[in-house]
Every structure is written in structure tokens, then in C-alpha cells.
């Protein structure tokens, strides 16, 4: 299962897109007791006893309400994934006649089960007269609110990476980091920059139907064929 490779894994429960949600937040999973204990300390102010602080921690505790929501969703996780799979399958079937010409989309290997957290479409801008952002605007004008962009800026161009700023107010990483305040200069990462200009994202919610997928595909084909060179 995802998260079982390596010393620790992290999960996101961000509500609009993740497979299950607790309203917000996430989780750390590990089979290493030392890592687990440190995560528990960081989650709850660094307390090892009542008002006894061993390190700088945070208030990352999950509420009982959030846990109850997450537990109820976890019991339905197979149903949620099957719904997303059905949406993605229908979308791919409807878009296959423009695949490789105007777009590319994920084709999971037979031995991989894709959770379809998002449906990413790579536009062939060389075959279109407009930018990716204009395509997204047109899709939303057609009522496809699920059309968005994730992510428009490559990480090496984000201010937090360029300026090495983060969690301690004066800059730096949340724990220890040798790069406080240093400005990083990266060589151009052409592939990341090329992809960031072309990726279009379709959100897949657990209540989306195959009919929604067909409507989405119709809108995509209508717009791309209109803007085709």
C-alpha cells in the first residue's frame, strides 16, 4: 500500500481532491517507533508531560469530529475509489479520438491501480492557437467547474525554494537546516517548465458520475477543436 515503502509516509486529507478527507490536515504513518514518538511530540506542543516541553512542537492535533469523519470515509474507501475509476475510465474513452493529437493523459500500467486523485491532461500547445490558461477559462465558461491547474509554477521557481524561507519566522526550515536565508539559483529545468505550461487538471470528486465525465469530455473536445490550428 502507498506509504509502506521507506521509513515513513505522509497522507493528505485535503477536502476537495483527496480520496478521503477529515475536513483538512493529514497523517504521518511509520513502523519506526522513534519516528512515531517524534511525530507525536511535534503534533502536540513537544510535551512529554503536562506543561513539560522537550522540544518546539506545534498544535497539529486532530479533533474527534475530524477523526469520526475520516473513519466513516475510510470504511467507504473502496466505493470512493471505484467511483473515481469509473469517472476516469469514461473520460478516457470519450477523449480517445483526440488523444496524441491534441492531448495526452495518464495510461496506468495493467499492474498499477490508480487512485485518480486528479485527472491530469497534457495539452499539445503546438496544435492549439491559445494558452493552457485560456483553455481552462473556456472550460469553466462551459460549466466545467472541475477544470483547474495543478500546478502552474515549477517548484524551483517558488519563492520558498528560491529564497530558502520557511517555518521559523526569520526564515529557514521547521527543524534544522543549513540553508537559512540563502538564495538558491537553479539551472533552467526545461522539462518541468514545459510541462507546467501545458498541464490541465480535472478534479474528480467521489460523487461525480460517468455522465459527468461524458459532459466534461464533450466540453474539452468542443473547445480544443475550436482552438485547433
Give residue-wise pLDDT tens across range 34-55: 999 999 999 999 999 999 999 8
| Domain covering 77-154+189-229 assigned CATH 3.90.1150.10 in the classification | yes
Other beta carbons less than 10 A from residue 32's beta carbon: 12
Partnered with residue 119 across adjacent β-strands are 202
Q: Helix, strand, coil: what percent of the chain each, to 5?
A: 35, 15, 50
The stretches in the chain having pLDDT less than 70 are: 1, 164-182
Domain ranges of the chain: 1-75, 77-154+189-229
pLDDT tens-digit readout, 79-124: 999 999 999 999 999 999 999 999 999 999 999 999 898 999 999 9
Residue 188: partners with Cβ closer than 8 Å, 6 or more residues away: none
Residue 184 DSSP symbol? P
- The pLDDT assigned to 9 comes to 92
Assign 185 to helix, strand or coil: coil
| 202, 132 Cβ separation under 8 angstroms | no
Q: Which of 157, 145, 151, 165 is nearest to 187 (CA)?
A: 157
- The pLDDT assigned to 204 comes to 93
- The pLDDT assigned to 28 comes to 93
- The pLDDT assigned to 77 comes to 94
Residue 22 DSSP symbol? S
| 103, 123 Cβ separation under 8 angstroms | yes
- Percent of the chain beyond pLDDT 90? 74
- The pLDDT assigned to 172 comes to 44
- The pLDDT assigned to 20 comes to 92
Q: Which of 145, 135, 121, 139 is nearest to 195 (CA)?
A: 121
| 106, 120 Cβ separation under 8 angstroms | yes
For the chain, list the strands marked E by DSSP. Answer: 8-12, 26-30, 47-49, 52-53, 103-104, 118-123, 147-148, 199-203
| 116, 85 Cβ separation under 8 angstroms | yes
- The pLDDT assigned to 168 comes to 47
Rounded to whole angstroms, the Cα distance separating 133 from 124 reads 13
Rounded to whole angstroms, the Cα distance separating 109 from 202 reads 20
Assign 173 to helix, strand or coil: coil
Amino acid at each position: 500500500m502507498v506509504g509502506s515503502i521507506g521509513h515513513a509516509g505522509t497522507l493528505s486529507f485535503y477536502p476537495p481532491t483527496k480520496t478521503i478527507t477529515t475536513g483538512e490536515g493529514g497523517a504521518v504513518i511509520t513502523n519506526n517507533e522513534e519516528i512515531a514518538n517524534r511525530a507525536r511530540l511535534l503534533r502536540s506542543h513537544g510535551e512529554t508531560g503536562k506543561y513539560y516541553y522537550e522540544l518546539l512542537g506545534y498544535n497539529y492535533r486532530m479533533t474527534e469530529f475530524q477523526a469520526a469523519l475520516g473513519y466513516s470515509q475510510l470504511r467507504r474507501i473502496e466505493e470512493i475509489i471505484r467511483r473515481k475509476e469509473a469517472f476516469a475510465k469514461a473520460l478516457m474513452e470519450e477523449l480517445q479520438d483526440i488523444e496524441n493529437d491534441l492531448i495526452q493523459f495518464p495510461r496506468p500500467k495493467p499492474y498499477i491501480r490508480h487512485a485518480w486523485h486528479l485527472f491530469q491532461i497534457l495539452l499539445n500547445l503546438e496544435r492549439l492557437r491559445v494558452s493552457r490558461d485560456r483553455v481552462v477559462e473556456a472550460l469553466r465558461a462551459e460549466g466545467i467547474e472541475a477544470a483547474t491547474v495543478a500546478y502552474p509554477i515549477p517548484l524551483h521557481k517558488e519563492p520558498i525554494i528560491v529564497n530558502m524561507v520557511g517555518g521559523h519566522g526569520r526564515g529557514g526550515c521547521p527543524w534544522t537546516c543549513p540553508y537559512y536565508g540563502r538564495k538558491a539559483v537553479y539551472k533552467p529545468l526545461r522539462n518541468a517548465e514545459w510541462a507546467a505550461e501545458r498541464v490541465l487538471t480535472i478534479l474528480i470528486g467521489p460523487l461525480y458520475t460517468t455522465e459527468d465525465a461524458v459532459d466534461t469530455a464533450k466540453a474539452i473536445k468542443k473547445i480544443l477543436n475550436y482552438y485547433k490550428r
